[in-house]
Chain A
């Protein structure tokens, strides 16, 4: 795990309680949290360009305690909207979730609407926060959009970070910015490039089948990176949607105003008919994530098929003594293999370099590496010495010829 810059205490607590899942689905790698009673239809949080699944940790902690199931994901490396819809659908199939409620902020809100448009049967409700209907203005604002996949990491990072408002903030907003910046640091070049491709891939949200009454718009009223016209445009598209505006909160109200955001999310879920199951919450610390017995067999199959990728992370939830960074246990398994093979690779490479006969490489295990290297060096030294002497002889010959010509 890349270290989180001065991680807040509740985040450290979150990491010790909630396992991070990393699974490949199709060609995409998915990184997500899934917490709370499995019997409840989930609220899935989709972050913006600068976000990761981690930015919603305050929602996951608070709402799961109240008996809701919250899933938050990293936007996977997809390069256009069609790919996003397909990848997200595969993800939902893989985690065995059918009907969903989406909470999308910024780019995540745009992707949530696209998914609702193209997969209307799956999306039961939407919470849209500081988001937009179309990407045209972003592609116009980034003239280098066509080469975004070739742009070096530091430029992408700088671009994403300059979008975050700088300057004097009140402490909670300042902390939210710090947290998001630390998350951006964990993103790879490909992650950033794919997200910027998504924002600049000219597209717009078409008409939704979902009725406005199943939508909540949760904009912050102080400022955010999304221009006001785009937010107004979205508001006009869904005139009957519920307006759950927050007076302040900046770009990341889920971090800076978590209690207000959680209250609005709760009110939204209640309004669209999601019933929390606080009675199942006590099961969570038992390491089962509160899974309903009826779904357990399915879940088991799924877990087995992905056991290697998940590593130990599945077992770590909420046992207090277990290591504080669940994903590190997952990756340690993966790390081991490459380590072995890289050792082989190193030896092979060393021997191939000195162009030794095949029979000799097979004996490398018997001969201590130090000896073989020593031997090889002697061999090479002699070879080079001879070569050097002969070349000196040749040069001498040539130079005498040259003098003759002059």
Chain B
């Protein structure tokens, strides 16, 4: 069914600089990893077609620069988000401590209609480093924080080795879809059926 429009799901990745947000996105979308660190300027996005229960969706994944708070991007960047991914580096306590700030920041900027139930997903990245020996944030601690914030799903990944990335994003897509579907119900064009008597000129483009 080529002419059917696909649901667009918008996902936003937040977290401190250098935790591997861009790498996670690249690993998921392009199956690529680069050891070279290049700071993201402002923001950027990638899209991926995903299939779920026989339906195709377009996942639009927004990657942000961790350095700044992106005030300049403003609301446009956050608007219409269906899921927010909070990323930290399991080898950096500070990046974990900041998760709370990123979560608050998102809720303020995006101001979702139902902040209590807005889908977040937390990712602890870089589990491959040093064979896990330099790890400072325990899985238990991370899971406890997630539980305290309304049972946020939690994943531990390695963007470099591609460990658990696919699984994490499948969960992200599923949660985004759930919130995206709910939102869709309120779209004016889905309740516009009574208006079908009105002539709709398909010939004109404006």
Contacts and interface: CB of A to CB of B under 8 A. Distances in A.
Interface in A162-193: 162-170, 180
Interface stretch (A32-40, A262-270, A361-369): A262-270
Interface of A is mostly: loop
B2 A168 contact: no
Contacts of B203: 137-138, 141-142, 163
Given A221-B8, A225-B206, A163 B3 contact: no
A166 B196 CA distance: 11
A262 B188 CA distance: 24
Contacts of A106: 205-206
A251 interface: yes
B192 interface: yes
How many chain B residues sit at the interface, stated as a range, is 35 or more
A50 B205 CA distance: 8
Contacts, number: 106
Given A229-B2, A259-B75, A199 B205 contact: yes
B36 interface: no
Interface in B130-151: none
B79 interface: yes
A49 B205 contact: yes
A267 B45 contact: yes
A337 B168 CA distance: 72
Interface string A201-218: 000000000000000000
B189 interface: yes
Interface string A92-127: 000000000000001100000000000000000000
Contact of A225 (B6, B41, B47, B204): B204
Nearest to B206: A50
B43 interface: yes
B4 A228 contact: yes
Contacts of B198: 166-167
Given A167-B192, A245-B47, A267-B45, A160 B204 contact: yes
A41 interface: no
Contact of B204 (A162, A167, A180, A267): A162
Contact of A167 (B7, B73, B195): B195
Given A106-B206, A247-B10, A263-B76, A162 B43 contact: no
A164 B206 contact: yes
Given A167-B195, A245-B58, A263-B76, A222 B206 contact: no
A151 interface: no
A132 interface: yes
Contacts of A228: 3-5
A45 B81 CA distance: 28
Interface in A252-298: 252, 257, 259-260, 262-263, 266-267, 270
A260 B81 CA distance: 12
Interface in A142-159: 142, 159
A248 B8 CA distance: 10
Nearest to A243: B47
Interface of A: 48-51, 106-107, 130-132, 137-138, 141-142, 159-160, 162-170, 180, 199, 221-223, 225-229, 232, 242-245, 247-248, 251-252, 257, 259-260, 262-263, 266-267, 270
Shortest 7 CB-CB distances between A and B: which pairs? A163-B204, A141-B203, A259-B76, A50-B206, A106-B205, A229-B3, A221-B8
Given A142-B203, A167-B198, 19 more contacts: A131-B205, A137-B202, A138-B203, A141-B202, A160-B204, A160-B206, A162-B201, A162-B204, A163-B206, A166-B198, A225-B206, A232-B3, A244-B45, A245-B47, A259-B74, A259-B79, A263-B43, A263-B73, A266-B42
29 contacts: A48-B205, A131-B205, A132-B205, A138-B204, A141-B203, A159-B201, A160-B206, A163-B201, A163-B206, A165-B200, A167-B195, A167-B198, A168-B192, A199-B205, A221-B6, A221-B7, A221-B8, A222-B187, A222-B189, A223-B189, A225-B201, A225-B206, A229-B3, A245-B8, A248-B187, A260-B76, A260-B79, A262-B76, A267-B42
